[in-house]
Amino acid sequence: MKYKNTILSILFLLLIFNVNFAQNEQSSVDLATYLQEQGIEAQATDYGLYYKLEEKGTDRKPKVGDYLSLHFKGQLLDGTVFEESDPSDPFVFQVGYRQVIRGWDLGIRAFPVGSKGTIYIPPNLGYGKRGAGQRVPPNAALKFEVEVLKILTEQEYDAYMEELERKEQAAYQAEIETQFVADKKLIQEYALNNKLRTKRTNEGVSYIITKKGKGENAKAGDELEVTYQGYLLDGKPFDATKGKETYKFPLGNNKVIKGWEVGLLNFTEGSEGILLIPSKLAYGPRAIYEENVAVPANSVLVFNIKVERIKRAEVN
C-alpha cells in the first residue's frame, strides 16, 4: 500500500494554526442539554458524543482500517458551517488512524454504508480548548451531517489517492504559473521605476550587467565565488555576504536557487550586475524565516551580485 500512510486530511489543516481567542469566548456546551432543548432524539455513546440516523443504510458499519468515502458538512451548534465536502468529490479517510478529529472518527462507526445522519461532538473530542483557526472557537461543540457512500478496497483507495495527487499537483502548478505572470509584471515595473535596461532569459530571470568582466561566460560545472546583497522589491535587505566574505558553489548542481543557476550563466569573471528573480525561480510559495533571513511567500528577489572568481570545470 504505497499511499497507506500518506493521506493528510485537508479538512483539518486549520488545526495547525495557533490563533489566540479570548478565554471567555465560548464555554463548554452540555450536549445532552442542547439536544433536549432542541427536541432532538439522538443516541448516546460511551464516549460522550451523540448521533442520529436519518436513513439507516443497508450495508455493514465501518470498522478500524476501512477506507471510507462520504459527504459531510461540519457546523457549530448555531448552524455556522466551517467546512464541507464538495458534492462532486467525496471526502475519503481511513477509520481509526487519526486522520480526522476523534469525535468524528468514533461516531462514524455507528453509520452503515448508505446511511445519513448527524454526529454531535463535545469539545474534548473535537478541537478542545485550542479551537481551529478563525472558524472554530475554543471549547466548541460540533455537529457533522454525514452521508456514508462506500467502503473502498485498497485498490480503489490507491486509485483515489493517485487522482487526488494529480489534481493537487495541477492546482499547484496553476497557482505557480499565475504568480509567475504577476511576478514578471512586477519585475518590469521595478526595472522601469529604477531605470534599468534589463534583459530576460527564456526562463524568466531578468538581469543587467553593470560592469563587464573578462573571459567567457560561466558554464554549468564551473565553481563560482561571488559576493552579493539580496533585497525584496520594497528595498528591504534579507541576505548578503559580509566584508571580505565570499560564497562558493558549483554552478548547475542545484546548490543555489534556480534564478541564480539561470542568471549567472550570463556573467563572466569580475563582472557585476543585478538579477531580478521571479518567485517561481526562487522560494515560490514557501516563506523563509531563518535567523536574519526573512523572505515572505511568493517574493520576487533582487540581487546585486559580483562574480569574484570562476574556477573552470575540468574538461575530460
Task: Judge whether residue 198 has pLDDT over 50.
Answer: yes
Give me the residue spans of the domains in the chain: 10-152, 176-311
Strand pairing class (288-290; 293-295): antiparallel
Amino acid at 50: Y
The pLDDT confidence band at residue 7, using thresholds 50, 70 and 90, is very low
Helix residue ranges per DSSP H, the chain: 31-38, 102-107, 154-193, 258-263
Task: Find cell 456514508 and name the residue.
Answer: 148
Give residue-wise pLDDT tens across range 51-65: 999 999 888 999 999
Give residue-wise pLDDT tens across range 65-101: 999 999 999 999 999 999 999 998 999 999 999 999 9
Pairwise CA distance, residues 144 & 84, whole Å = 9
Q: Indicate the SS3 state at residue 297.
A: coil
At the top level of CATH, which class does the domain 176-311 belong to? alpha beta
At the top level of CATH, which class does the domain 10-152 belong to? alpha beta
Give residue-wise pLDDT tens across range 206-227: 999 999 999 999 999 999 999 9
Positive or negative, the CA dihedral 148, 150, 152, 156 is negative
The pLDDT confidence band at residue 316, using thresholds 50, 70 and 90, is low
pTM for the full predicted model? 0.62
Task: Judge whether residue 13 has pLDDT over 80.
Answer: no
